[in-house]
Structure 1
Amino acid sequence: MNATVALRKKAENMTNSNKTLRNDIQSMRALAVIAVIIFHIDKTWLPGGFLGVDIFFVISGFVISNLIFIKKDAGTFSFIDFCTSRLRRIAPAYFALLFATSLLASLLLTTNDFNAFFPSFKRALFFYSNNYFATYYDYFGPQGYELPLLHTWSLAVEMQYYLFISPLLLLIPKKYRTSAILATLSILTLYASYETLYKHSNEIYYSLLARVPEFLIGSMVALSQAPKTVTHKKVAYRAGLILITLSLFFINDSLPFPGILALPPCIGAALIIWSQHKNPKSWLFYPPLVFTGNISYSLYLWHWPILAGFKYYYGDYNLPMGSTLIAIGLIVLVSYASYTWVEGPMRRPKARLSPLTMAAVVITFILGSLVIPPKINHHLTTPLPTELTRYADQQTICHSQMMGDCIRGDRESNKEILMIGDSHAAQLNIFADVIGQFMKVRIRVITASSCINIDNFDVERIPEPVRKSCITQTEEADKALLGSQDIVLAGRWDYQLKSPEFVIALNKFLVTARERNQRVFILAQVPSLTLNLQRAIKFEALGLHPPLGKNPDADEYNLKISEIAKHYPNVKILDYSHIELFNNAPFFGHTPLYSDSDHLNEVGARLYGEAVKERFARALQPPLSTAN
């Protein structure tokens, strides 16, 4: 009876967060969020900074399991109260973030980019964004570091764990808790390791099942008795600190993760929590660090969209130092405001709404958020004509898919040229029409996204969603190569030539072409820009002046591809990157030439073809292949 009374008193204390806060855990939260922010500013500063998310999961697993086990054993656990408390803890600041981000996105994003953003916003509203980002791929949309809600994947995982996984802990008989949790933890860790090591799947990174072991490591701490001696406490604390430190500096995002590699930082975090370190002189009790832990949720919420906004403006992952400092200042200011006026007040008993009122507020917010931001964006932005926003209709060209016979130019001609490559070849479909009509030849254009569709291309390097199409388009190109004497190869060389494996594959391709007596004409990359042109036009309309100019990388890599070509007598470089058309790129007169930062639009592709058709024809003087 005395034990039951004690458990009930302990359970009552758990309802008051101020009585259960541990400074060491708050400092662990601070460490985690600081690591994440540093990584997101520049991952070279702290290669394993992304592991801060995993440390958060361990802490959450410990806190939630502790609450569940104590209240269940005391007979006071209520699933409705549990869900309500989690929503009250997470939802106010989270929905404030979504509201502010959606409004700013509607003002700042181009129509195309807003259309890419809005599906993630809708999933984030329902804590489902992890499954959206697991399969997200938009070659012409924002980069991952420009997606303002990408970080909500971890909050989605956490909420899914609270609602769907943690209640299962209630079903485990008390005497089997440790063995059941340990078995589940081990099985799911092996599953995640297999998926990352052998399937190379990006989806597993965002998967709830792959992250459950991290929460369960925290659960194991909740089930364990604290070390009984000071020596054991010190050993656990120091071992945990070493594991976390080594992980932050030696695990990086190029390694297969999560899975086995998630264990060192998670076990390290668990050891520090388990040690219940209470030395007031320890860094774990440093007041500024404890305070940072108190506002860590708001810091995590707001840091990413602020950084993403700056990176979207500059069109680059790396920000100028001045802008980095401004971004850090905004992160601190906005996060503190969020903690003070949104997050903190909603935790106080007097500010708590009834479940019915809370549901009405949430429903009103969701409906308003789904309607208002799209209307703002579409009214503020006058869409550019279609021919200025794409290089071709994707449903009519053989890019990452076969569409008809892939023929451009003079369809009646019995002479044929084969053009292959990545999207920098795909952007030349209209160019090929102009050239082919002028030369009275037909040009078969077969291309693949991110992929130079030649044998031995290092397909594992490119984004997972386009690997299959890379392989199938390479097979289609191989068929066409057997009957081709003249081959035009085009690509984004400042991307492709950075891969040593690709350079090897390219040389093998050129050797094979020489053995077949095939001529290869390599098109130099057209000038690329420092910023997506559509964004630059949008920013200028808002009174901002983005840093728009030519990117010098294209010239550098055009020289590198020229050096490779010099070794093969059957290979010729066609470099038109410095013709008059591109003197004032991205414009020719007042006409935009580009659809983004490095692809010509339909108008630009046609003007490019008209500008070089005579030189191109001279370069490809007969012999030309005759169709079979």
Structure 2
Amino acid sequence: MKYRREVDGLRAIAVVPVILFHAGFTAFGGGYIGVDVFFVISGYLITTILITDREAGRYSLWRFYERRARRILPALFVVLACTIPFAWLWIPPVALEDYARSLAFSVMFISNLHFIEHSGYFDVQSELRPLLHTWSLAVEEQYYIVFPAFLWALGRFVRARHIAAFIAVAAGSLALAVWGASQFPAENFFFTPSRLWELLAGSICAALLLNRAQMRHEGLAALGLVLILGSVLWLRPGDPSPSLYTTAPVLGAMFVILFASGDTMTGRLLSAPPLVAIGLISYSLYLWHQPVFALSRIRGWEEALPGMIWLLIALSMVLATITWALIERPFRTRVWLRERKAVFGASLGGSVMLGAIGFSLVAWEGVPQRLEGKDQQAFHKLITADRAVNLSGMCADGPRPVSDKLCRAYGPETAASTIAVLGDSHAAAILPAFEQITEGRSLRVMQGIHPACPPLLGVYLVKGGAASRKCHDLVKGFAADTVAQGVDTVFIAARWSLYVKGDLTRKSDPFLLSIDPAMPRMSDADYFASFKAGLINTITYFEEAGLRVVLMDQVPQQVRLPETVIAQAILRGLSKDDIQVEITNSFITIEKHEALVRVSRDILMEVARALGAEVMSVNAFFERDGRYAWMIDDKLLYFDADHISPAAARALSPRLEKVLQVD
């Protein structure tokens, strides 16, 4: 097929927003749509190649898959192999097991299935997953397996028939994507059938252009570029994808492919040498950027060094250029591995080797033995001791059933007074503090806790799908049962900032709140108003029933995972004193924590004062020299970055006892 410089420019327009989005620049909140644009380009190129070869009588599946292997695998194998030693040296056992599974699944092109299965609230954070981006390669390769058979079934090329078939399948896929976005948004993102319409959009472009002169239209070509760039700036991380929102960048990519001929203004812009240069290395750049970003965050460099992200972007560009020049281009032009058998043999060998490494690390559970035999045994014991906490909250009779009723956590079945602990996983983390409070008292502690579920009445998570409605109904049930159980005091704890601002790295739209179950797209002011309305609804409901309401201020969220900090220090062979310095330096500053919780705390205090509810804080317990510590006196105070450990919860028991004024 004829080379189109403007398509390489379009690749640059696709990859740059993805990189800026993953770098954490909030202005590029819709940068993830670059992947959708890549899918359209891929569908266009592959369909053109396959139909052209068939019409010319040189169609061969072996030839097609050889091309795919030369295009995809050499650079992929190099990047995957380069991540292994850094993962071994820097990633602690539990997270290494997740990495290893994604490594093995990447070479099998099913890593999207891994991320579908492990996309929950308590799974490894996306920005700490070096191979998260391989999900899109998996989707494309799965498409490449099915699509040639689909074309073969359509027979010789007949434009109207092929376009009709592509549109029919694409419509079904888009309908599935829209349904999935409302019901299972996290899983829908990685689900291949929900992405087929984007690839088929490129196929439609190929069928429209095949055996015809390139179409030309200044207005539609410019509109296409505006739709793509506008989506990058207008869309947010919490907007469902793929969904109807995604039709804008997909249509934009189609308009550029169809109408931006080389002599249009848009075509000339996309053919500019800098954009073409980035487009040529875009595949390698896409492969490198996520491991570079994620590994630097795991190592703590991005937090420690201001402006580090720009150096990481530059490093990704340099690595991509080298990979394109020394790996991608020589394999594609047959400088290396000239014979097809050699290509398939090397592909199989590389897949088996990398897959074996991945599955071995999974079988060895992340190789915790890496931390054994070191001098720093006291620190080693901190991260290998049994410090598990059930972040759904335990009931006196065992694990909490999935129910909208309270269960007894501590104390006798009947008692003179009752406290209800309500909230998300932060409430579960503080729950062990109540065990000591009930000892020797006629006091019963009930709990209604559900992870990642704001304990507020009348509000919905904006991107929760079916889980959002379930959360809403559970909270409503917990509240009703609290009143029915004759509770005296309601104690509510949650990660409040998550529902207003997000986390420390970026705005976390999926956990923002709306009073509308249809989850409309709203402004920040509307999200704040929804949070405030939920607080008012909740406090008013309990106070009108005659209950005392105590709200717990959010405990500090750490910048880095304690387990990662300690494991890395041990693996690097630091002395005990140096490990202690490393630990202390990783504590979050009070200033950074205050910036995170400022909006949610202001709203919390305003509503509490207006309605007569009480707010208590335990944060002074963690304060040390202008920071909030996650380890004090060789005791680990955090289970992860934001949930306190059972040991910390028990140490806080006297503070809660004083505030709750238990007799």
Quick one: structure 1 residues 255 and 446, their matched pair in 2 at CA, closer, same or farther if it must change by over 3 Å?
closer
Q: 1:294 aligns with which of 280, 294, 303?
A: 280
The Cα offsets for residues 553-610 of structure 1, whole Å up to 9 and x where unpaired, read as: 57745564333222234x333333324887762222222211222221121111111x
Aligned 8 A contact 2:105 2:355 in 1: no
Identify which of 376, 379, 389 aligns with 2:369. 379
Partner residue, 2:532: 503
Deviates more, 1:271-280 or 1:283-292: 271-280
- AA paired with 1:549? I
Amino acid in the other structure paired with 2:114: Y
In structure 2, how many angstroms separate the alpha carbons of the residues matched to 1:580 and 1:195?
42
User: TM-score normalised to the size of structure 1?
Assistant: 0.85
1:189 is matched with 174
Quick one: structure 1 residues 620 and 495, their matched pair in 2 at CA, closer, same or farther if it must change by over 3 Å?
A: farther
Determine helix, strand or coil for the equivalent of 1:257: coil
Quick one: distance in 2 between partners of 1:164 and 1:302?
28
CA distance in 2, matches of 1:223, 1:81: 21
What amino acid maps onto 2:529 in structure 1? Answer: P
The yes-or-no answer on 1:586 pairing with 2:630 is yes
d(CA) in 2 for partners of 1:598 and 1:192?
33
For 2:57 and 2:41, locate their aligned partners in 1 and report how far apart those are by CA, in whole Å. 24
1:303 aligns with 2:346: no
Question: Is contact 1:148–1:305 with CA below 8 Å preserved after alignment?
Answer: yes
Residue of structure 2 in register with 1:151 after alignment? 133
1:508 & 1:235 partners in 2: Cα distance?
51
* Residue in 2 that maps onto 1:6: none
Task: For residue 406 of structure 1, give the secondary structure of its aligned residue in structure 2.
Answer: strand
* Preserved CA contact (<8 Å) 2:417 2:488: no
Q: Does structure 2 conserve the Cα–Cα contact (< 8 Å) formed by 1:451 and 1:462?
A: no
Q: Which residue of structure 2 aligns with residue 180 of structure 1?
A: 165
Gaps of 5+ in 2: 372-379, 502-527
Match in the other structure for 2:644: 600
**Cα separation, 1, equivalents of 2:217 and 2:656:** 77
Please, which of 103, 121, 142 is the counterpart of residue 121 of structure 1?
A: 103
Task: Tell me which of 387, 390, 393 is aligned to 2:388.
Answer: 390
SS at match of 1:329: helix
State the one-letter code of the partner of 1:417: I
- Contact kept in structure 2, 1:392 and 1:601, CA below 8 Å: no
User: Match for residue 199 of structure 2?
Assistant: 215
When structure 1 is superposed on structure 2, of 284-293 and 69-78 the one drifting more is 284-293
- State the secondary structure of the residue aligned to 2:114: helix
Distance 2:300 2:459 in 1: 31
Aligned partners of 2:48 and 2:210 also within 8 Å: no
Query: Is 1:446 aligned to residue 448 of structure 2?
Result: yes
Contact 2:30 2:237 in 1 (8 A): yes
TM-fit CA distance, 1:349: 2.3
Q: State the AA in 2 paired with 1:108.
A: W
Q: Which residue of 2 aligns with 1:249?
A: 233
1:31-67, Cα deviation, whole Å (9 max, x unpaired): 2111221222234233332222122111111111111
For 1:193-224, what per-residue CA distance to the aligned partner results, in whole angstroms no more than 9, with x for missing partners? 3443x436332222222222222222222222
Asked if structure 1 preserves the Cα contact closer than 8 Å seen for 2:128 and 2:295, the reply is yes
Native 8 Å contact 2:400 2:407 kept in 1: no
Looking at structure 1, the residues matched to 275 and 53 of structure 2 have their Cα atoms a distance apart, in angstroms, of: 30
* Distance change in 2, residues 1:91/1:593 (3 Å): same
1:270 match: secondary structure: helix
Q: The residue matched to 1:75 in structure 2 has which SS?
A: coil
Partner of 1:417, secondary structure, is: strand
Alignment of 1:15-26 (within 5 A): 20-26=2-8
Matched, 1:110 2:153: no
Equivalent position of 1:11 in the other structure: none
1:399·1:448 contact (CA, 8 Å) conserved in 2? no
> 2 CA distance for matches of 1:477 and 1:102?
49
Does residue 359 (structure 1) correspond to residue 348 (structure 2)? The answer is: yes
Deviations 1:95-120 (A, max 9, x none): 22222224322321222322333333
Distance (whole Å) between structure 2 residues aligned to residue 253 and residue 65 of structure 1: 31
**CA-CA distance at 1:319 after TM superposition:** 9.1
Q: Name the Cα RMSD after superposition.
A: 3.4
**SS of the residue 2:360 aligns to:** helix
Tell me what 1:523 maps to: 552
Write the deviation string for residues 511-533 of structure 1: whole angstroms up to 9, x where unpaired: 22222211122233333333322
Structure 1 residue 470, shift from structure 2 partner: 6.4
Q: Does the C-alpha gap of structure 1 residues 272 and 429 become closer, same or farther in structure 2, counting only changes over 3 Å?
A: closer
Q: How many Å separate the matches in 2 of 1:283 and 1:67? A: 26
Q: Give the AA of the match of 1:552.
A: E
1:162 to 137, 141, 144: 144
Q: Which moved more, 1:522-531 or 1:552-561?
A: 552-561
Contact 2:67/2:332, CA 8 A, preserved across alignment: no
Distance of aligned partners of 1:230 and 1:303 in 2 relative to their CA distance in 1, 3 Å threshold: closer
Of 535-544 and 423-432, the range deviating more from structure 2 = 535-544
Q: TM-score, normalised by structure 2?
A: 0.81
SS at structure 2 position matched to 1:149: coil
Q: 1:314: Cα distance to partner? A: 4.6
Give the Cα separation in 1 of the matches to 2:588 and 2:359.
36
Q: Which residue does the alignment assign to 1:624?
A: none
Task: Between 487-496 and 538-547, report the one with greater CA deviation.
Answer: 538-547
Assess, with a 3 A threshold, how the Cα gap between structure 1 residues 614 and 187 changes in structure 2: closer, same or farther. Answer: closer
Flag the 1:268–1:615 CA change in 2: closer, same or farther, 3 A. closer
Are 1:486 and 2:489 counterparts?
A: yes
What displacement does 1:229 show? 8.8
Q: Deviations over 1:134-170 (max 9, x none)?
A: 3433434432222222211111111111111243012
From the superposition, tell whether residues 380 and 203 of structure 1 become closer, same or farther in structure 2 (CA, over 3 Å).
same
- 2-side partners of 1:581 and 1:32: how far apart? 45
Q: What residue identity is the alignment partner of 1:113?
A: A
For 2:118, what is the secondary structure of its paired residue? coil
- Of 612, 625, 628, which residue of structure 1 is paired with 2:655? 612
**Aligned pairs for 1:425-440 within 5 A:** 425-437=427-439, 439-440=441-442
Residues matched between the structures, number:
598
Distance 1:462 1:538, change over 3 A: farther
1:30 lines up with 2:72 in the alignment: no
Instruction: List runs of 5+ in structure 1 lacking aligned partners.
Output: 1-13, 15-19, 622-628
Within 2, Cα distance between the matches of 1:485 and 1:315?
Answer: 49
Whether the 8 Å CA contact 1:102–1:369 is kept in 2: the answer is no
The 5-angstrom pairing of residues 33-112 of structure 1 reads: 33-112=15-94
Residue number in structure 1 paired with 2:587: 548
Q: CA deviation at 1:25?
A: 1.6
How far does residue 510 in structure 1 lie from its aligned partner after superposition? 1.6
Q: Is the 8 A contact 1:497 1:503 kept in 2?
A: no
Q: Distance in 2 between matches of 1:133 and 1:25?
A: 30
Give distance in 2, aligned partners of 1:315 and 1:563.
38
Q: Distance in 1 between matches of 2:183 and 2:350?
A: 43
Q: CA 1:257–1:567 in 2, change beyond 3 Å: closer, same or farther?
A: same
Which residue identity is paired with 1:390?
A
Relative to structure 1, the CA distance from residue 60 to residue 75 in structure 2 (aligned partners, 3 Å threshold; closer, same or farther) is: same
Tell me which of 329, 336, 342 is aligned to 2:314.
Answer: 329
Q: Distance in 1 between matches of 2:149 and 2:537?
A: 57
Per-residue deviation, 1:172: 0.9
Q: 2:460 aligns with which of 452, 458, 461?
A: 458
SS in 1 for 2:458: coil
User: Does the C-alpha gap of structure 1 residues 89 and 451 become closer, same or farther in structure 2, counting only changes over 3 Å?
Assistant: same
| 1:347 shift after superposition | 1.9
Determine the C-alpha separation between the residues in 2 that align with 1:463 and 1:263.
20
Q: 1:192 to 1:491 in 2, by over 3 A?
A: closer
Report the more deviating stretch, 580-589 or 181-190: 580-589
User: What does 1:397-408 align with in structure 2 at a 5 Å threshold?
Assistant: 397=395, 401=402, 405-408=407-410
